[in-house]
Structure 1
Amino acid sequence: MGVQRIDVTATTTAPAGAVYALLRDGASWPDWSPIGSFELESPGEDGGESLGAMRVFRTGRITSRERIVELVPERRLSYVLVSGLAIKGYRADVDLTEGPDGTTIRWHSSFRAKVPGMGGIYRRALTMVLQRCADGLARAAAAAHAP
């Protein structure tokens, strides 16, 4: 079973700091993404949603548990899927690149399907979800940063 890769982007007029603040705040995700609800299952090393935090996102009947594995202020948030989907080795990196006109959000991930032949199906579905997340994050950051 091959590694599946997803790579989506969105741009916003907001600075990277505003985008990063929303990304770090799991409670804001249901406002700007297709995620239905958020719960902090366990805090990270420095409390709250810091490195090592376990975050639970629910959408319909799907409950995914994700651990924050990398944080670079105003530049990157990375997480791994611990449970919730029939995939393994899932890691997502959300990279922020600030330019003169705003910030580019690059949300990219990789994984392997647990069930042979299902990788492409998961990749297509997750690509749509992650694009909606990136686009929603871009809109929310722009709105939060609007004069």
Structure 2
Amino acid sequence: MQVPASFLAIDHLHVPVRDRMAATSWYEQALGLRIVPELAHGAQAPNGPLTPAEPKGVLHIALFERPAGDRLCAVALRVEGGASGAWRQHLGGLLGRVPKVSDHGESVSRYFNDPDGHSFEITSFEPAARAELAAG
């Protein structure tokens, strides 16, 4: 099975925390990360993330408020918008089902787990990825 086009970058990491605001303050002091205004709307949803990043946008951390025992992290991998269809087909063949596409407004993502339960996200911020919504 041929793996689709290479990744552009690790887009962000999902990090479960007890208190998003306290964690944001700590990440700002420790790593210089600040809340990304364009992504702040995510924190308005009950289970949505608060997303601090470093100034160049190289590192994003999506802070999800979770109970103390829920510490499973996820890795989001960014791809070009035109590669989304190839990833849809590849993951469908590998997993035996096509992972559902999620529209986050600014991005389109597919979520899946590895055999050990680790979560991964294939995501694109490019307009070509919008065709994925129609494809399902």
Does TM, normalized by the shorter one, top 0.5?
A: no
Give the structure, 1 or 2, with the largest relative contact order (CA under 8 Å, sep 6 or more): 1
Give the TM-score of the pair, scaled to structure 1: 0.29
